[in-house]
Every structure is written in C-alpha cells, then in structure tokens.
Amino acid sequence: MKKTNTKVTEAPKPAKAGNRALATRPTQAIQSAPATGGRGFENIERKDILIPRLQLLQALSPAVVAELAKAGTIHVGLSGVNYGKKVTITPILHFRSRIKWVPRDEGGGIECSSPDAKKPVSDVICAACGECEYKDWDDAAKTDKDKAPKCTLYENFLVLVGDATEPILLPMEKTKAKCAKKFFSMGALKNADMWAWQYELSSVADKNKKGEPFFNYAITDLSKRTDPKRMALCEQLWAALSTKTAHIKTDIADEDETGAVAGKPAGAPAADAKY
C-alpha cells in the first residue's frame, strides 16, 4: 500500500480538549434526541451531532498498514489522535445497537441494522430484533463461524477520555463483549451514577479460537472518584443525550479482530456503510 503524508497525532498525557487534526477515519452521530448545547442550539437534534469513535487498531487495520499508527493502540479516527495502549475514561451512558453484515466473500456491506438493538431501520428481514433468528447461536451448524449469530450486537459507551470535555463513542462487539459486560457490571454494583467513578481502558494481546493473535480491550477499576466539576459536565451531557434511545450512524464499515474491513480484504480502505 502506498504511504501517505497524513500524520497521526499522539495524545498528550493526559489528553486535552481542543486537540484536533484532519478527519481521516470514521464519524458517528447520535440521533433522535432533543437539542443539546447552550442557547442558540435550539434547532440542533442529536442526529446532527457527530461523535468521534474510539477504535482498537489491529495488525491489518488501514491506519497500521499505512504506517500511520501502531497495532494495539487506541485511536480516534475523527481527529487522528492516538492514545497509545491505555487511557483513563469516565463513562456517561451505555446503549446497544445491532448490525447484520453481508459476508465479505459476498460483497460486504450492511444488510440490516438496528440503532437501539430493538427495532431495525428496515423491516425487510424482521420487524423486531427480539424475534429475529439471526441474533441467536446456531448449535446445529458444523463450524464455530456458522454457529455464531449472523447479527452483531454492539455494546456502546459514551465516555470522556482523559481530561477532555467532549464525548467519544466506545463501541464493543464480538470478542470485546466480555470486557463490555465487566465494564457496565462493575459500575452498576457501585449503586451510583455511571460517571461517578473513573476507569482505565487498555489494550491487551489476545487470541481467537483459531489461535490467531489480535488485540482486545481490558478495563480496570481505578477506585477513583470523578471530581465534582467533571461530574457536573457528565450529568449535563447525559441529560442532553440520553432522553431518547441513542441511535448510531457510522460512515465506515466495521473491522473484525484481524483488522479486515467488512466487505473489503484486510488492509483495504474503509467503505461507506451508512444506515
């Protein structure tokens, strides 16, 4: 692959708000909520607000292949900021979404999606996710690949990273599901607002069932309370963005644990995949 002159900005320690670079990777939008922001933003809805997405780079992720960032690092596509292998996060809210991807050997892309993991955007496949056969494991299938649900469930967290004041989306799917469950479980057991405590998100080496290496997330409870000023900010963001079910809209295809982009060979440029 031909190298480009695009640079990846390494995040300061700790990360500061306002550090922005040319958008080189995905944008995501949370939609269907009342206006957010201060006065003057009355006509802005959640669908109009772009939220950058955290992604854990793999060996064959496009940014790694192009030598713009290292595998196993936590990256923000919209700004080009790279946080390295660990960062402190303050969670604001959690929600689920679903995507049924078309297999890469069949052309790739999105066949069906549900921003709230309950009702799909189109009812061509099913009217409700809870009634759809593609969300379930197929124990009668011969291979692990065929047994896995055809529809991918995403555990999404809206978080603040480091000392930044702008929210970032942290999606977890497939092999990251255990980390996601640990994350929201340890928070729920504290019997407090989700943003009352801070956590460390880090990158760890892992292997899939075939023994193939990839990088996974790990979450650590820092037993550190969020300071009052940041608590107030999180509460303000929660009030603005959680009134209705959060919807996700992405302009790129998903990446699996090997770094291959859905619908494209490993290392290929990301494709438009709007829903």
Q: How far apart (Å, rounded) are the C-alpha atoms in residues 230 and 236?
A: 10
Global pTM reads: 0.74
Residue with the two structure tokens 């060996």: 59
Yes or no: say if 87 and 162 are a contact pair by the CB < 8 Å rule.
yes
pLDDT value at 241 more than 60: yes
36-45, 117-126, 153-162, range with the lowest pLDDT: 36-45
Domain boundaries, the chain: 9-250
| Residue 122, pLDDT score | 79
Q: What is the pLDDT of residues 28-51, one digit of tens each?
A: 444 433 345 567 776 766 556 678
Q: What is the pLDDT of residues 50-80, one digit of tens each?
A: 788 899 999 988 889 989 899 999 998 777 8
